[in-house]
Chains A and B, each alone.
Chain A
Amino acid sequence: MGLLGRALIAVEKAVKVPLFGCRMCGQCILHSTGLVCPMNCPKNLRNGPCGGVLVDGHCEVHPDRACVWVRAWEGSRRLPLWRDHMERLQPPVDWRLQGTSSWANAATGRDRIAPAAWAVSDRGASTAPQG
């Protein structure tokens, strides 16, 4: 990777880690999840909360913290755009992209390459371009 590539990763990290607790998964869906990073969910869920959310809306793994997906749902209700994105089926994570720049991957379309049969069986929801 060239200097420019590394610089882009550094800038993305500097911006998104303090703001969103970004985990640099390289396939950002923040705007589809109420601007709350889903990779902070201990189960790496990309499509909504698990069934173990505590009665007070906290995480079953970290009971001292609010569930990432409770925050995502509430956040998405406040967004003027992308509200309906919470209904969209998000494809499986491509773990090869961990640590790469999601901005670069969005520009090249690399982050929208889903496994072959995912695209085949999909009815269009999950591979729709993310705003």
Chain B
Amino acid sequence: MSAAARPPHSRLEALLRAGEFAVTVEMQPSNGADPGEVRRLAEPLRGVVDAANCTDNPAAHPHVSSLAVGALVARSGVAPIVQLTCRDRNRLALQADLLGAAALGARDVLLLTGDDVSAGDHPEAKPIYDIDSMHLLRIARTLRDEGKYLSGRALTSRPCYFIGAVENPFAPPHDFRPVRLGKKVEAGAEFIQTQLCFNVPRLREFMARVRDAGLLERVFVLVSVYVARSIRALRYLRDVVPGIDVPDAVMQRFERTPAERQAQEGFAMALETVAALRETPGVSGVHLISIKGQDAILRLIEEAALLPRPEPKDQEPRTSATY
């Protein structure tokens, strides 16, 4: 990375820079005000994952805020990746939350457009979309590196975070996806997490083009892997969640599997995908997702021989206060 001269902003950045294969997971969203619920999910992840994504109203359903979950996760000794979407906030609120997340101890942020309100349980809501994810990435970078709001007004101290974005190599227009990633890097993205990967050949095509565009020197790519427990879950992802490509071959594999063995089959498939990704040039890590299946994720990390997690050898990352 061209910025290797400066110290890393987070543990995740330190590990990626050291060439370690990173492991992140998606926190199960919480629906109550009990901090114990978040703690119980976070504690088993300590020492097992490098960071945990704290989602921002995923699939346009309200949940406990990503800032609050991030702070609770950090208190449990797990590095949070605080997600912020452009769907629910304008540029004022997003800047406030970027600073707030950093102040509460988040060292990694993931900035995205967000699923539309029509996908959620409040389809009558007013979507905001004041700015897009590219703008938000640039704003995050400006706050951190220039110490300024978008307006140009100066901060008294700069936030310290490693800046993430998302990309979907599996959605049309496929030829534009690597170009779009280039724009995100130009805007400020330092790592990306992809949409769920059920199609390794397509992912490899994307990675080859990302490499040819010279982007791998500028951004780390983590690929999302889903631990399926039933064909019903796969059908839901394919038919209801926009932008997910579940190839027919994957569906057929599950159709041939009796219901009681589908969870086992889903686990085997995730294990195979992780192995294939480790051998894919340019892939810097995996992001593991399951619906209410954190135990399966923990078992996957173990069986995929991703333990023990490495400790960063690099110097201690900076904090927002000592920036």
A87 and B183 form a contact (CB under 8 A):
yes
Residues from chain A with a CB closer than 8 A to the CB of B312 are none
Residues from chain B with a CB closer than 8 A to the CB of A123 are 186
Residues from chain A with a CB closer than 8 A to the CB of B132 are 43-47, 92
A120 and B146 form a contact (CB under 8 A):
yes
A116 and B141 form a contact (CB under 8 A):
no
- Residue B151, interface by CB 8 Å: yes
Residue-wise interface mask of B (124-145) relative to A, using a CB-CB cutoff of 8 A (1 in contact, 0 not): 0001011111110011011001
- Residue A3, interface by CB 8 Å: no
Number of A-B contacts (CB under 8 A): 140
CB distance from A39 to the nearest CB of B (A): 11
B171 and A53 form a contact (CB under 8 A):
yes
A50 and B142 form a contact (CB under 8 A):
no
Q: Pick from A42, A55, A56 the residue with the most CB of B within 10 Å.
A: A55
Residue-wise interface mask of A (52-67) relative to B, using a CB-CB cutoff of 8 A (1 in contact, 0 not): 1111110011000001
Q: Pick from A44, A48, A123 the residue with the most CB of B within 10 Å.
A: A48
Between-chain CB contacts (< 8 Å), 8 pairs: A43-B86, A48-B134, A51-B243, A73-B175, A89-B134, A90-B134, A120-B152, A121-B141
A51 and B183 form a contact (CB under 8 A):
no
Within 8 A of B (CB), among A80-125: 86-93, 95, 115-118, 120-123, 125
State the CA gap A73–B176 with chains docked (Å).
Answer: 7
Residue-wise interface mask of B (76-99) relative to A, using a CB-CB cutoff of 8 A (1 in contact, 0 not): 000000000011000100000000
- Residue B242, interface by CB 8 Å: yes
A60 and B243 form a contact (CB under 8 A):
yes
B176 and A49 form a contact (CB under 8 A):
yes
Residues from chain A with a CB closer than 8 A to the CB of B135 are 46-47, 91-92
A45-B132, A49-B171 given; A86·B152 CB < 8 A:
no
A43 and B175 form a contact (CB under 8 A):
no
CB distance from A66 to the nearest CB of B (A): 10
Q: Could you list which residues of chain A lie within 8 angstroms of chain B, going by C-beta atoms?
A: 42-57, 60-61, 67, 69-70, 73-74, 86-93, 95, 115-118, 120-123, 125
Within 8 A of A (CB), among B132-167: 132-135, 138-139, 141-142, 145-146, 148-152, 166-167
The 8 Å CB contact of A55, one of B87, B127, B139, B172, is B172
Q: Pick from A47, A61, A122 the residue with the most CB of B within 10 Å.
A: A47
CB distance from A38 to the nearest CB of B (A): 10
CB distance from A91 to the nearest CB of B (A): 7
Residues from chain B with a CB closer than 8 A to the CB of A87 are 179, 182-183
B152 and A52 form a contact (CB under 8 A):
no
Residues from chain A with a CB closer than 8 A to the CB of B115 are 52, 60
Residues from chain B with a CB closer than 8 A to the CB of A116 are 148, 150-152
Residues from chain A with a CB closer than 8 A to the CB of B300 are none
B180 and A48 form a contact (CB under 8 A):
yes
Residues from chain A with a CB closer than 8 A to the CB of B146 are 117, 120-121
A86 and B186 form a contact (CB under 8 A):
no
B150 and A118 form a contact (CB under 8 A):
yes
CB distance from B248 to the nearest CB of A (A): 11
B187 and A43 form a contact (CB under 8 A):
no
The 8 Å CB contact of B243, one of A48, A53, A90, A118, is A53
B173 and A54 form a contact (CB under 8 A):
no
Q: Pick from B86, B132, B179, B243 the residue with the most CB of A within 10 Å.
A: B132
State the CA gap A90–B115 with chains docked (Å).
Answer: 21
CB distance from A110 to the nearest CB of B (A): 18
Residues from chain A with a CB closer than 8 A to the CB of B131 are 92-93
Residues from chain A with a CB closer than 8 A to the CB of B187 are 47, 89
- 9 shortest interchain CB distances as A-B pairs: A116-B152, A60-B242, A51-B168, A52-B242, A47-B134, A52-B243, A73-B173, A57-B172, A53-B171
